[in-house]
Amino acid sequence: MSPLATGFEIPFLRAVWIGTAVLCVASIAIMAVLIARRAAASAEAVQRDARRQSLSRFILAALKSPVALDAAALPPVTQADFPILVSLALDMLRSLRGTDAVRICSLLKLWGVEPYLLAMAVRGRPGKRIRAVTLLGFLDDDTSLQVLLATARDREMYVQISALRALAQRGASGHIDTITDSLAQSGQTNTLLLHDILQRFGATAVPALSRLAQSPASAEVRTAAVMALGSIGATDAVPALITLSEDAVTDVRAQALAALGKIADPRGASVIARRLSDLDASVRVQAAQALGELHALSTLPALAGSLNDSDWWVRFRAAQAIHRFGDKGVAALKALSRQPGAGGEIASQALLEFTGAR
C-alpha cells in the first residue's frame, strides 16, 4: 500500500473497482440471457411464419368463397394465433376495402379475436394499441365504437390519432361533437395528421369543425380544424374562415387564408388580399398562394405590389400566383420584370422558370 493512502481513499477506491467489476459481469450475464432468448425466439419465429402462411392461405381462400363462412368452417385457432391474425388482417386491410374488408372482419369476429382487440386497445405499448385501434375501425358494433370514442381522448398522441382515424373510417360523423369536444381539451399537437383525419368526416362535420376552430382549444388543434374546413371545401365555412383570417394566432390566420384559397369562394378575395400586408411573413406567403388559387383579377394589383415585399418567399409566391392567372398573368409579369429592384428581379426569374422566356 502506498504511504500516501489515507483511511478515506482505500474504501473509495475499492468501491470503484469492485462496483465496476460487478456491473461489468452483471451486464455480460444479462446479455448472455438475451442472446439465449433470441436463439429460442428464432426457433419460434420459424413456427410462427409457417402458421402465418397457413392462416393467410385460409383467409385468401375465404375471400374467394362464394358464400360467407360460419364458425364451423374455420380452422381452430388459439390465443397464441391472435397476434398473427391481427398482423395478417392489418396487412390485408391496407389494400382491401368493401366486401373483402367486411369478410376479413367477420372472420376475426368468428375466431373470437374482438375481445382480444378490445383489451389490446386499452393497455400495452403504443404500437400494439395503435394496431388494435386501427382494426377496430373496420368493425361495426357498438362495443368497439365506445372503446374508440374513449381512446379518442387518449393522452398518447399516436393512439389518439389512430382512434380518430378509426372513427372516421367507421363514418362516425354522428359523434363529431363528442370528438371535437375531446379534441378541444386534448394536448394534441400533430396539426397535419389531425387535419388529415378531421377532413375525412366530410361535410357533416363542418359546423362542429367551425366551432372547434373558434374555440379556446390549443393553437395546433384549432389550426387543424381550419385546415380540415379548407380540405372539405365547404362554402358554408367561408364566413367562419373570414373571421379566422384575422385571428391572433399566426398559424390559424395563415391556414384560414389557405382554406379560403382552396374553397375558392369569391367572398374571400378581398379578405385574402388585405392579408398581403400582414405583419407575419408566413401569413403573407399563404395569402399570395391563396390568391393564386382564386385567380380574382381584382387582386392582381395587390399581388403585383407584393413582388416588392421584404421577404423573398412572399415575392416568389406572389410571382407564382400572378403566373397562375394565365396569359394576363404572364403579360403582367413581363411588364413587372422591366421594373428595377426586387420586384423586377423576381418577376424576371419567375418568367424564366415558368415559361423559359424573359
Partner 1 sequence: MDIGAQASAFLVDYSPYLLILSWTILGIGVAQNLVYALQLPAAWAELRERSQAEDSESAFQLLISDVAMPISLVVPGYNEEATIVESVRSMLSLRYPDLEIIVVNDGSKDGTLQALIDAFQLQPVTRAHEEAVKHQPIRQVYGSSMYARLLVVDKHNGGKSDAINAGINLSRNPLFCVVDADSLLEIESLLSSVRPFMEDPRHMIAVGGTIRVLNGCVVKNGQVIQSGLPRKFLPLVQYMEYIRAYLMARLAWSRWGILTLISGAFGIFRRSVAVEVGGFTHGTVGEDYELIVKMHKHMRNQDRVYSLRYVPEPVCWTEAPETLKVLSNQRKRWQRGALEVFFRHRDMLLNPRYGKVGMLGFLNNLIIDVLGPIAEVLGYILMPLFWIAGVFSFDFFLAYVALFFAFGVFISVCSLILEELELRRVPRASDLALLLGVAIVENFGYRQLTNVWRIIGWWEFLRGKTSWGTMTRKGFGPKPGSEAAMTITPKNA
According to DSSP, residue 72 is labeled G
Residue 313 interacts with partner 1 (CB under 8 A): yes or no: yes
C-beta of 2: minimal distance to partner 1 in Å? Answer: 4
**Cα–Cα dist 190/59, whole Å:** 36
C-beta of 332: minimal distance to partner 1 in Å? Answer: 16
Of 197 and 208, nearer to partner 1 (C-beta) is: 197
C-beta of 46: minimal distance to partner 1 in Å? Answer: 13
Q: Grid coordinates representing 189?
A: 399537437
Segment lying near partner 1 (by CB under 8 A), choices 101-109, 172-180, 191-199, 300-308: 191-199
Residue 203 interacts with partner 1 (CB under 8 A): yes or no: no
Residue 271 interacts with partner 1 (CB under 8 A): yes or no: no
Residue 246 interacts with partner 1 (CB under 8 A): yes or no: no
Dihedral sign computed on CA atoms, order 304, 305, 308, 313: negative
Could you say which residues in the range 90-109 bind partner 1, by CB under 8 A? 90, 94
Could you say which residues in the range 318-357 bind partner 1, by CB under 8 A? 319, 346, 349-350, 352-353, 356
**Cα–Cα dist 294/297, whole Å:** 9
C-beta of 200: minimal distance to partner 1 in Å? Answer: 10
Residue 158 interacts with partner 1 (CB under 8 A): yes or no: yes
Contact status, residue 189 vs residue 222, Cβ threshold 8 Å: no
C-beta of 50: minimal distance to partner 1 in Å? Answer: 19
Segment lying near partner 1 (by CB under 8 A), choices 7-15, 115-123, 176-184, 292-300: 7-15
Residue 131 interacts with partner 1 (CB under 8 A): yes or no: yes
Residue 130 interacts with partner 1 (CB under 8 A): yes or no: yes
The residue type found at 285 is V
Residue 119 interacts with partner 1 (CB under 8 A): yes or no: no
Binding mask 218-237 for partner 1 (x = CB under 8 A): -xx-----------------
Residue 192 interacts with partner 1 (CB under 8 A): yes or no: yes
State how far the alpha carbon of 45 is from the alpha carbons of 39, 40, 208, 292, 341, in Å. Answer: 10, 9, 48, 56, 68
- CA 230 from centre of chain: 16
Could you say which residues in the range 33-62 bind partner 1, by CB under 8 A? 34-36, 38-39, 42
**Cα–Cα dist 277/291, whole Å:** 13
Contacts of residues 244-252 at CB distance under 8 Å and 24 or more positions apart, as own/partner, are 244/213, 244/214, 245/271, 245/272, 245/275, 249/219, 249/222, 249/223, 250/280, 250/282, 250/283, 251/191, 251/219, 251/220, 251/223, 251/282, 252/213, 252/219, 252/222, 252/223, 252/226
Contact status, residue 230 vs residue 218, Cβ threshold 8 Å: no
**Cα–Cα dist 343/358, whole Å:** 14
Give the footprint of partner 1 on this chain (CB under 8 A).
Answer: 1-5, 9-10, 12-14, 16-17, 19-21, 23-24, 27-28, 30-32, 34-36, 38-39, 42, 90, 94, 125-128, 130-131, 134, 157-158, 161-162, 165, 189-193, 195-196, 219-220, 251, 312-313, 316, 319, 346, 349-350, 352-353, 356
